[in-house]
Structure 1
Amino acid sequence: MRRQLAVFGVAVLAAAASVLMFVRPADAAVGLHISGTNIVEANGQRFVMRGVNHPHVWFTGQTRAFADIKALGANTVRVVLGSGKRWGPSTDVAQVIALCKQNRLICVLEVHDTTGYGEEGAAASLDEAVTYWISQKSALVGQENHVVINIGNEPIGNQNAGQWTAATTAAIQRMRTNGFEHLLMVDGPNWGQDWQYVMRDNAQTILNADSQRNTVLSIHMYAVFNTAASIVDYLNRFQANGWPLVIGEFGWRFNSGEVDHDTILAEANARGLGYLAWSWSGNTDPILDMTVNFDPNQLTTWGQRIFNGANGIKATAREATIYGGGTPTSSPPVTTPPVTTPPVTTPPVTTPPVTTPPPSSGACTAAYSVLGQWPGGFQGDVRVTAGSAAIRGWTVTLTFPSGQTVNQAWNATVTSSGATATARNVSYNGSLGAGASTTFGFIGSWNGTNGAPTLSCSAT
């Protein structure tokens, strides 16, 4: 999960690491396993994770989420579980695995209680996480084709991150001693972001600790990775050394200081790296929700980006061959990058959309709706659609009837004069093909009534 870093900018440790290629012996292959830098299935077919995180332990009744996530094209779901130290205990592991299998999803199971250990006083240790996995062994054995065990989420905070190497080594070895043959996933320290490079500089030690040579490393990318350079450099080092890696969590650039998700998606696709975006719904910070109230028919800007965007899930996911897959789950759609969706603090209030007249060739329409409303404020959404010919730019004018004002906008540049707000496209969403659409949104203020504005749309 996204965490505020307490410390940033220490000098990079220059610890030496072996550059030996990490290959699991062919005769040791049981279910999902590592071959070189790749995750492969028991039949040797490469499998690249394309999925999202689902906060199951806090929303155990949201079992429909597995089918909904699959329907949107994912091939993997990372499921949040609790050991009982802070959340849970999750005693429904068998049911969770069944839901994954019913919906043809590879199931990454993680213990969330370890988040920020050493800095977060209530956190569980990795050793306690292993104790939990041992308690659930009967549900896990025999599921190696379908299940990856992510031993503990973000297992060390920013204080004494160096303890991660020994703790992770011991956890892997204890899992193997207790008979687990699954592909294991281990998260980095620093709340998963490894900004002190402890995981990067000790990766070979961790991989060598696994007697089955069947561990994949997982980086979580949030505000530390807010530039293309930081992302590319980190991924390059793992690739150069032949270390298996997945991007187990990441957020998106909803402001200039946040993660550069476009680079993450592009680099993951180019390198064949798996990724699991955070998260389906239910965040205390709803900026990271992909759906509104777990409703797949109400994708947020972040959800649209992950599922329908360039290098997103629908464009790049391949179903695991254990389920009969091997072809794209759907055709890649055309979309535009998002900027942000501010949080809505009350349940969404939906209003009938207001739409401009049908466009002629080279023109556009604009449709307005209110996604959420609270005393004195609201979140507006406008969908701009090109006419029967492509356009290179658009301008939408909104004339409010009741004194509303626009305070903050995304995916458009908005200026206001009295009751009128004028929104113009930004660099990445002005060009639209015939019939194609994009959206922009805003936070507004109102007093008395919140009537819909009169709209006009012009195109170039």
Structure 2
Amino acid sequence: MRSRLLAVVTALSAAALAAMFTLTIGSPAHAAAGFTVANGRLYDANGTEFVMRGISHAHTWYASQTRAFADIKATGANTVRVVLSGGRWQPANGASDVANVISLCRANRLICVLENHDTTGYGEQSGSVPLSTAVDYWISLRNVLAGQERYVIINIGNEPVGNNAVSPTWTQATTTAIQRMRDAGFDHTLMVDAPNWGQDWRFEMRDNAASVFAADPDRNTVFSIHMYGVFDTAAEITDYLGRFRTANLPIVVGEFGHNHSDGNPDEDTIMSYTQANRIGYIGWSWSGNGGGVEYLDMVTNFDPNQRTSWGTRIIDGANGIRSTSREATVFGSGPTGSPTTGPTQSPTAQPTTPPPARGCTAAYRVIGQWPGGFQAEVTVTAGSAAIGSWSVGWTWANGQRINQSWNTTLTTSGSAVTARNVTYNGALGAGASATFGFLASWTGSNTAPTPSCTAS
């Protein structure tokens, strides 16, 4: 995380929104012992898809705050991103300390994303080091990290390029770093941060991610975008993340906040879009921020009983950690929040009174709107009886056009829209809800429709 961004970024131009790679990525080329990437998704060692819902912890500056691991787990998080230093900050986090960090992660059933913070702002900030030095650090920890592939993801270097031009470029340096890690025997999933203080406003990571991924002999690299002031509109967020999804390239929001010195990030869209599209996110950060960004603390003074507004938002707000996180299955149980057995068998005797009629309601709301486009979601709620499927319909009043949708099978005929459930969200218990969303265009007016819902 950076406290000040030295460039002002305006809305995306039409040219920046055009010209994106298309790549189909199949199974990983190397069967790793731990996490793997396939078809743009991250899978744990049991082959179960894993979506990060995590919190960053500034361990290198607060090494004594080991209770933070348990407190972060108590939020429902399935991941902790741990800040480490190879020497830019003293004392460096050596082998014994990193081994203890991994032990704390595993004891608290958290996937451990270990990141080297020494690279932050390279080429612009004094004291920062290139990715090659970060790789040297990881190689020095090879004996500690070997055998931990099921529990550890290595974030090679935090925000490894500032806003100045550097040589080698981000693309060249990142490709070389990945290949050096593989040559040194690392089979872990690797995470690589974007340039421009992690926010990629020049789109170097976005436009070169396909070639960087292909250069990994294991095909086991995840890309990390940090979303602060550059990502202050829904259009910027959905366009950036959507391009990675379209290209089947693995992307996570490796840092984000609710506010920042360089602008006001749209955390609502970040959280809703990542949830709808099964994209991981990691919020910055648990506690200990300074330099004018103390508002990014989730708790004050590492005390979980002193929750901040940001902590409340990301942990218990809409699409927050507690309601969306599922624990990695490598810890010996199924995803938290899901039943471990199927529903109990229905009684064989017929009921003496007829069951209540199946029904549902649909509520429409706009998540974000910008000139010419908007994002909306519809929440379907079952009535007093369980339902097996649902269909929602409405008619546009102003010629709106849907461009992309998720969590639904959606068809249009002129101004009429029909949205039906998909396989995993049709069956709802009495009073239970499912949500689907979409991106659409509009001109002139954007009158909200009144949807109807039918169930069976």
Return the TM-score normalized by structure 1: 0.69
Counterpart check, 1:109 vs 2:114: yes
Q: Which residue of 2 aligns with 1:292?
A: 300
Counterpart check, 1:243 vs 2:246: no
Counterpart check, 1:323 vs 2:326: no
Which aligned pairs between 1:216-365 and structure 2 lie closer than 5 A? 216-253=222-259, 257-284=263-290, 285-329=293-337
Question: Within 2, Cα distance between the matches of 1:95 and 1:329?
Answer: 29
Pairwise CA distance, 1:330: 9.3
Counterpart check, 1:95 vs 2:107: no
* Superimposed CA distance per residue, residues 19-42 of structure 1 (whole angstroms, 9 cap, x where no aligned partner): 222234376232111011111012
Q: Which residue of 1 aligns with 2:124?
A: 119
Q: Which moved more, 1:4-13 or 1:78-87?
A: 4-13
Q: How many residues are aligned here? A: 331
Q: Which residue of 1 aligns with 2:137?
A: 132
Question: Within 2, Cα distance between the matches of 1:294 and 1:124?
Answer: 29
Counterpart check, 1:50 vs 2:53: yes
* Structure 1, gaps ≥5 residues long: 332-460
* Superimposed CA distance per residue, residues 136-155 of structure 1 (whole angstroms, 9 cap, x where no aligned partner): 11110000000000000000
Pairwise CA distance, 1:255: 9.4
Which aligned pairs between 1:356-395 and structure 2 lie closer than 5 A? none
Identical pairs, percent: 56
Amino acid at match of 2:45: A
Alpha-carbon RMSD across the aligned residues, in angstroms, is 2.1
Pairwise CA distance, 1:324: 2.5
Counterpart check, 1:183 vs 2:189: yes
Question: Within 1, Cα distance between the matches of 2:53 and 2:338?
Answer: 13
Pairwise CA distance, 1:45: 0.5
Counterpart check, 1:156 vs 2:161: yes
Pairwise CA distance, 1:194: 0.3
Q: Which residue of 2 aligns with 1:23?
A: 26
Change over 3 Å in CA distance of 1:86–1:255 after alignment to 2: closer
Q: Which residue of 1 aligns with 2:345?
A: none
Question: Within 1, Cα distance between the matches of 2:23 and 2:180?
Answer: 24
* Structure 2, gaps ≥5 residues long: 340-456
Question: Within 1, Cα distance between the matches of 2:124 and 2:331?
Answer: 41
Work out which of the residue numbers 62, 74, 88 in structure 2 matches 1:71.
74
Q: Which residue of 2 aligns with 1:213?
A: 219
Q: Which moved more, 1:255-264 or 1:83-92?
A: 255-264
CA contact (8 A) 2:120 2:157 kept: yes
Pairwise CA distance, 1:326: 3.0
Question: Within 1, Cα distance between the matches of 2:30 and 2:133?
Answer: 31
Q: Which residue of 2 aligns with 1:172?
A: 178
Q: Which residue of 2 aligns with 1:454?
A: none
CA contact (8 A) 1:14 1:201 kept: no
CA contact (8 A) 2:222 2:252 kept: yes
Amino acid at match of 1:218: S
* SS across alignment from 2:304: strand
Q: Which residue of 1 aligns with 2:152?
A: 147
Amino acid at match of 1:239: R
* SS across alignment from 2:119: coil
